[in-house]
Amino acid sequence: MGYGDPELVDIPGAGPTRLAGPGQRIGARFLDTLILGVVFLILAGVRLYKMKVTHTITDVNGNRVTSIDAGLYGRNLLLSLGISFFYDALLIGFLGGTLGMRMLGLRVVRTSGGGAPGFGPAAIRSLLLLVVGPILCGVGYLIIGLSFLWDGAKHRQGWHDKAAHVYVVRDR
């Protein structure tokens, strides 16, 4: 800080850097959700196409009743979480941002040095946001995802950013 501009943060080794605004961060997450939504719709279509009836019985009225494998929902949920986690962790870790972040001119940088965080910190960030966050029917996701709005240190870091020791900054 100390530059007279609350939008700037001093990153050791990188100098003053402009922080991402709340609208940009929320917009980037929205774009990422749309991108992942398309991927999930394609996967769901493939799964539905390949889905087979696993059990057929005759009920007491003589009607044939079929059912689908009950584990399908659980596998789809785990697959979605896995894809979301690796989408965030790999892109942020190695490229400095997800596709949504890059479209809006944002990047994630280490709090020291200012470079791309690498897979470890990006995985911690993604784990908190995308795996721990959905607990309590998505309320945890909103709380963790929006926690940058009430950052007392004025660095606009969410809890997931603080745990990973990163900032979300403007690229342009």
Torsion of CA 155, 118, 143, 9, to 10 degrees: 10
The band of 2, judged by pLDDT with boundaries at 50, 70 and 90, is very low
Work out the pLDDT band at 3, boundaries 50, 70, 90: low
Q: Quickly tell me which residue has 């398309």 as its tokens.
A: 38
Secondary structure letter of residue 127 according to DSSP: I
Kind plus residue range of the DSSP H or E element containing 72: helix 72-90
Predicted TM-score of the model (pTM)? 0.81
Q: Cβ–Cβ contacts within 10 Å for residue 143, how many?
A: 14
Which of 137 and 139 is assigned the larger pLDDT?
Answer: 139
Kindly indicate the confidence band of residue 120, based on its pLDDT and cuts at 50, 70 and 90.
very high
Has residue 1 got a pLDDT over 50? no
The values of phi and psi at residue 19, to 5°, are: -75, 150
pLDDT in tens, 16-69: 889 999 999 999 999 999 999 999 888 877 776 666 555 677 778 888 777 665
